[in-house]
Amino acid sequence: MRIAVTGSSGLIGSALSRSLAADGHDVVRLVRRAPVGPAEVRWDPARGTVDTAGLEGCEAVVHLAGAGIGDRRWTDSRKKELVDSRVLGTGAVARAAAALDTAPRVLVSASAIGVYGDTGDTAVDEDSPVGSGFLAELCQEWEAAADPARAAGIRTVHPRTGLVVAKGGGAWARLFPLFKAGLGGRLGDGRQFWSFIALHDEVAAIRYALDTADLSGPVNLTAPEPLTNREITAEMGRVLHRPTVAAVPESVLRLVLGELAQDVTGSQRVRPKRLLDSGFRFAFPEFAQAVTAALAE
């Protein structure tokens, strides 16, 4: 199958591209620079343009591109960049897919569990209402930007991804060195739920969404049983054989991270109801398994 991928150099996109290529699929990467060879297609998400000629023949599109949520402090300009990189890019990809002579049969367009807002101790799934706040509103705009593909009859799936446990990127790329040095600890009071997923299962779930014809709309990509930050801290210490006595007060997080601290200390107890109901099985459903798998990458 010929599959177009945006964000192919990122943590998830690179792992997905390798997995697809290893199984003999023809991966077409959307790039912002001049393409090098037929396996690359030029696009400009800021301008909303895609070289649609290069997408002809693609049976599927996976759209993962977007500026990193936790890469920098949330200034007004950074928040605008976070929104624009997702909304403008998604709109461009959705319009391009809809305009092809033969439309792809599926668009998997990324989203995140931030759409639910702070859920506290309440477990939520895809049938739960969306939340409020910057991230929740960003995710809603992000998903809505794919409407041109839906209107064209393209099956559209929004993987609402949780915290990806991986050594090579994301939150755990920062956490692993701290915990290995014995400096890991809870963040805030540690009672907030963190909904995680192993990188292996993230890739497997995206591929499952590509292949499962009756799966559409929002699909939570999180392990079945989220843990609190306190529980995750203890498990990290146990797996890595390191103390976890350090703790970062919420006041310090606010001072260092600004508004982003709300996302770090906010609680999201998310369950992958649609994945499980459709028959998907996680290879690493427990947090200790996800950490061990990440260390073996």
User: Looking at the domain covering 2-295, what would its CATH class be?
Assistant: alpha beta
Name the β-bridge partners of 112: 161
Model pLDDT, residue 185: 86
pLDDT beyond 90 at 69 = no
| b/e 204-235 (16+ beta carbons within 10 angstroms → b) | bbbbbbbebeebbebbbbbbeebbbbbbbbbb
pLDDT beyond 70 at 257 = no
Average pLDDT, the chain: 92
Q: What CA–CA distance (Å, rounded) separates 195 from 273?
A: 13
When pLDDT is cut at 50, 70 and 90, the band that residue 260 belongs to is low
Q: What CA–CA distance (Å, rounded) separates 287 from 239?
A: 10
| pLDDT mean over 124-137 | 95
pLDDT beyond 70 at 51 = yes
294 CB neighbour count, 10 Å cutoff: 22
Per-residue pLDDT reduced to its tens digit, 172-190: 888 889 889 898 888 889 9
Q: What CA–CA distance (Å, rounded) separates 253 from 268?
A: 18
Per-residue pLDDT reduced to its tens digit, 13-31: 999 999 999 999 999 999 9
Instruction: Give phi and psi for 177, each to the nearest 5.
Output: -60, -40
| pLDDT mean over 199-208 | 98
Residue ranges covered by each domain of the chain: 2-295
Model pLDDT, residue 172: 86
